[in-house]
């Protein structure tokens, strides 16, 4: 790949470890003569706003070659959705906890520099779009990199809804809700709900029920090109909450209809040399801990 020349940096506001890493990163990039811009969410905290352009990610996205995110997976999810439409590659530096997406250690500046020099792999990750619809069309919509979640709230009772796939009835549910996840999100909330781990190279979506009334209501994996429709029963609409990546909430209309389709733009995730997906799974999920080597 060609070296990256125009780089924007964002991170988790209010985290001193994040700010310290960003300051070191700015110093390193400045020393290489690169153009560095800062997200307005962290610009002032770094002390570099007087010498570097500071703007929102939405306005920076058309003018950059790479976005570096310092923080946890949640920070990357938030930032990635804001630049996906401009196909900006995103590199994550881990200052969070699990770090399935932010896979570069802040201590490995050698890896970061190799990425900036073009020695990296760019992987495209499926993104979903949730749409609240009624008879007049789309009322509200939001992208989701991990998952769209429909779940009960403000009630102890299960909710009732139907799922339709590509216009065909799939199931009628009585449960606490439903997780519709991408392969990226299969190691997040869906994993806790008993869903399958899906390799990010698979073009698929999983529907994972949350505490279903019947044991036969099992996780279902379908093509990522499918049109998923959720129809909430009228008696349950007031007790339903819809969220995308636990960051954006959508309110259903009286029709109680929610559509989930593939977002037209993928998340372009940058990995350093030597990145291997199963290494991440073994490290984060502690696979093989205590087992003798083969």
Residue numbers annotated as active site: 73
For the sheet with 159-165, list strands across it. 137-144, 128-134, 257-262, 228-232, 159-165, 168-175
Sheet of strand 248-250: strand arrangement? 220-223, 204-210, 177-181, 147-152, 240-244, 248-250
- What is the separation of C-alpha 266 from the centre of its chain, rounded to a whole number of angstroms? 11
CB 131 within 8 A of CB 258: yes
Distances (CA, A) of 16 to 115, 242, 271: 25, 33, 25
Q: What are the E-state strand segments in 106-238?
A: 121-125, 128-134, 137-144, 147-152, 159-165, 168-175, 177-181, 204-210, 220-223, 228-232
Q: Which residues, 6+ apart, have CB-to-CB distance to 89 below 8 Å? A: 4, 65, 66, 67, 122, 268, 269, 270
Phi-psi region of 189 (alpha: psi -120 to 50; beta: other; left: phi over 0): alpha
Q: Is the dihedral of CA 48, 51, 54, 60 positive or negative?
A: negative
What's the order of all strands across the beta sheet hosting 90-94?
Answer: 54-55, 35-39, 6-11, 66-71, 90-94, 267-271, 121-125
């Amino acid at each position: 790949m060609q070296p990256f020349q125009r780089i924007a940096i964002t991170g988790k506001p209010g985290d001193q470890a994040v700010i310290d890493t960003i300051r070191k990163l700015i110093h390193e990039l400045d020393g290489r003569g690169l153009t560095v811009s800062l997200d307005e969410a962290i610009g002032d905290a770094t002390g570099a706003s007087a010498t570097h352009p500071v703007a929102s990610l939405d306005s920076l996205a058309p003018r950059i070659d790479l976005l570096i995110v310092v923080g946890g997976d949640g920070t990357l999810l938030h930032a990635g959705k804001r630049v996906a439409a401009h196909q900006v590659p995103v590199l994550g530096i881990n200052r969070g906890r699990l770090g399935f997406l932010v896979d570069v250690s802040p201590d490995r500046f050698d890896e970061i520099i190799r990425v900036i020099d073009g020695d990296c792999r760019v992987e495209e990750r499926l993104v979903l779009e949730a749409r609240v619809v009624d008879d007049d069309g789309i009322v509200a919509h939001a992208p989701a990199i991990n998952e769209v979640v429909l779940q009960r709230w403000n009630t102890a009772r299960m909710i009732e809804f139907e799922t339709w796939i590509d216009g065909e009835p799939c199931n009628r549910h009585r449960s606490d809700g439903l997780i519709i996840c991408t392969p990226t999100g299969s190691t997040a909330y869906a994993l806790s709900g008993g869903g399958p781990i899906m390799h990010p190279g698979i073009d698929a979506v999983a529907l994972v029920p949350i505490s279903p009334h019947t044991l036969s209501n099992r996780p279902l994996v379908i093509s990522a090109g499918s049109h998923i429709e959720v129809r909430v029963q009228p008696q349950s609409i007031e007790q339903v909450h819809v969220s995308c990546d636990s960051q954006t909430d959508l309110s259903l209309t009286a029709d109680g209809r929610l559509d989930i389709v593939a977002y037209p733009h993928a998340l372009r995730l940058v990995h350093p040399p030597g990145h291997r997906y199963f290494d991440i799974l073994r490290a984060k999920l502690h696979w093989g801990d205590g087992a003798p080597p083969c």
